[in-house]
Structure 1
Amino acid sequence: MRLVFAGTPEPALPALRALLASGHEVAAVVTRPDAPAGRGRRVERSPVGALADSHGIEVLTPAKPADPDFQARLREIAPECCPVVAYGALLPQSALDIPVHGWVNLHFSLLPAWRGAAPVQAAVRHGDEITGASTFRIVKALDAGPVFGVVTEPVRPDDTAGALLDRLAESGAGLLVSTVDGIAAGTLTAVEQPADGVSYAPKVAVEDARVDFARPGLAVDRLVRAVTPEPGAWAGFRGERLKFGPVSRVDDGPELKPGELLAERKRVLVGTATWPVRLGEVQAQGKKRMAATDWARGIRVEAGERLT
């Protein structure tokens, strides 16, 4: 089947690679326009665009999918189906109508749970034990189209959103190829999503990643893992922002007030509403990441100081 693939970031790469290795023809790729990236803020191609370039595949980078020139080119390419993974822009109906088999999205949740931009973060933050990926036909309503298939994935107790997304990107790639295979063969029928069980996972902003240590330790742990690596957990310390990675539960620590810091020789503890947590790596504003013990030793944490 003749395809145009739409995607932008790293998690979309396994799916594009799998489609390139399949018996289908990837005639072109649609991705977000080149944008500044990295510390030098150099304008760079998206990961999906760069992979397409390396395979000599045409790359389309419309500012908006509603752009008439983009849609005219898409009609010229005449894809039969457009697989989508984390493209990052809303598709108007005029674009959805171009391929005869529509646009088929790989979404990293078990729909109708966690529709929206941040399903993996939501699964980790809410303590889901099982999550997965779904393929569905894109319709105008957000992630509400009929579902072709699913794969499931357990959420491990120490999973960060990044680690879980990596696994889902790989298993989801296989699901997307099998979905395209089934559509091409005429053996796969999409099933409407149930009305019950709908939940939403909006994009996680930097402010959403601020950790409130007045909450129970379990909630603190889940939030930190949910926003690792992006946008990164943080709290205030001495008037600046301190970022940190996953924390671990401490059962043998002293009783600490929420946010209260205790710097020991081999560990740095922070109080919560329940049990203390141990900081792993931290990153002070304008500094590199380092072990929490090295950070505490360098800034000399004083008794009673807190993360807020």
Structure 2
Amino acid sequence: MRVVFAGTPEVAVPALDAIAASAHELVGVVTRPDAPSGRGRRLTESPVAARAAELGVPVLKPDHPRDPAFQAALRDLAPDCCPVVAYGALIPRSALDIPPQGWVNLHFSLLPAWRGAAPVQHSIWAGDEITGATTFRIVEALDAGPVFGVMTETVRPTDTAGHLLQRLAEGGAGLLVATLDGIADGSLEAREQPAEGVSLAPKITVDDARIDWNEPAIATDRQIRACTPDPGAWTTLDGDRVKLGPVTPIANGPDLAPGVLAIGKSEVLVGTATQPLRLGDVKAFGKKQMPAADWARGARLADGAKFA
């Protein structure tokens, strides 16, 4: 088939590469416009745009896929199907109707669970033991289209959202190509999602990522891993914001009140509503990320200091 791929962030690049290496003809790529990035806020193209340029594939960067000029350019490319991974904009009906085989999305959950922008983060935060990826035909309702195929993936006890998303992106790339193969040869038929089991996964905000030390250790561990690397779990110490990397629950640690720190030579523990947690990396405001013991030493902290 002739395909036009739509995607934007780094997590979409494995699927782009897999399609480029497949039997399908990659005739174009759609991605979000260049955006300010870094300290200098210089306009930077998306990772998908950069990779498409390396592959020598034409790139379209519409402000919105409803733009008539974009839709005309898409018609000129005459795709049979448009595979999508994390494009970042809703596709209107007028664009959905252009490719005869529709737009096929690779979504990083086992639909109908975790429809929305942050399925991997919500899966970790909820304590799911199994997650996966789903390919489905895009319809106007959010992540509600009929399903072509699925893959499953175990959520490991130490997985961050970044680690799990990378595995799903790599495994999902093969699923997406297999889905395109099945559509092309007529062997694959999409099936409607069940009405039961729907859950939503809205974007995790910075406010959501603030740690409540009155929660149990297991909940805080999941929250921090779900918010790593973005938007980053955080707390405050003496009014200053502190970002925390993944932590380790301690089964037989000292009895610490929620948020209270115990400072050791090689470790820093913090109390929760249940058992304490051993801090991993810490990033204080205006400082580099570093191991917790180094951070505590540099900040001259003593036992009894408290996160708020």
Normalising by structure 1, report the TM-score. Answer: 0.99
1:71-95 deviations in whole A, cap 9, x for unaligned?
A: 1111111111000000000111101
1:225-254 deviations in whole A, cap 9, x for unaligned?
A: 001011111001111110010000113321
Q: Which residue is equivalent to 2:95?
A: 95
Residue 288 (structure 2) pairs with residue 306 (structure 1): no
The CA RMSD over aligned residues, in Å, is 0.8
1:185-210 deviations in whole A, cap 9, x for unaligned?
A: 11110000000000000000111111
Unaligned 5+ segments in structure 1 are none
Q: Which residue is equivalent to 2:56?
A: 56
1:55-111 deviations in whole A, cap 9, x for unaligned?
A: 111110001111110011111111110000000001111010100000000000000
> 1:227-242 residue pairs with structure 2 within 5 A?
227-242=227-242
Amino acid corresponding to residue 238 of structure 1 in structure 2? D
> 1:17-36 residue pairs with structure 2 within 5 A?
17-36=17-36
Q: Which residue is equivalent to 1:212?
A: 212
Q: Which residue is equivalent to 2:38?
A: 38
Give the superposition deviation at 1:36: 1.4
Distance 1:238 1:57 in 2: 52
Q: Which residue is equivalent to 1:283?
A: 283
Distance 1:41 1:155 in 2: 35
> 1:1-308 residue pairs with structure 2 within 5 A?
1-308=1-308
Give the superposition deviation at 1:22: 0.3
Distance 2:40 2:210 in 1: 26
Residues 29 and 58, structure 2, Cα contact 8 Å, conserved in 1: yes
Corresponding residue SS for 1:262: strand
Distance 1:268 1:287 in 2: 18
1:248-296 deviations in whole A, cap 9, x for unaligned?
A: 0113321111001111111101000000001010000111101111111
Residues 117 and 201, structure 2, Cα contact 8 Å, conserved in 1: yes
Amino acid corresponding to residue 283 of structure 1 in structure 2? K
Give the superposition deviation at 1:305: 2.1
Amino acid corresponding to residue 221 of structure 2 in structure 1? D
The percent of aligned pairs where both chains have the same amino acid is 66
Corresponding residue SS for 1:236: strand
Distance 1:291 1:40 in 2: 28
Give the superposition deviation at 1:42: 2.0
Residues 252 and 275, structure 2, Cα contact 8 Å, conserved in 1: no
Aligned residues: 308
Give the superposition deviation at 1:15: 0.4
Amino acid corresponding to residue 7 of structure 2 in structure 1? G
Corresponding residue SS for 1:32: coil
Amino acid corresponding to residue 222 of structure 1 in structure 2? R
Report the more deviating stretch, 165-174 or 33-42. Answer: 33-42
Distance 1:120 1:172 in 2: 13
Distance 2:221 2:52 in 1: 38
Distance 2:241 2:207 in 1: 11
Amino acid corresponding to residue 269 of structure 1 in structure 2? L
Distance 1:152 1:252 in 2: 34
Amino acid corresponding to residue 132 of structure 1 in structure 2? G
Corresponding residue SS for 2:120: helix
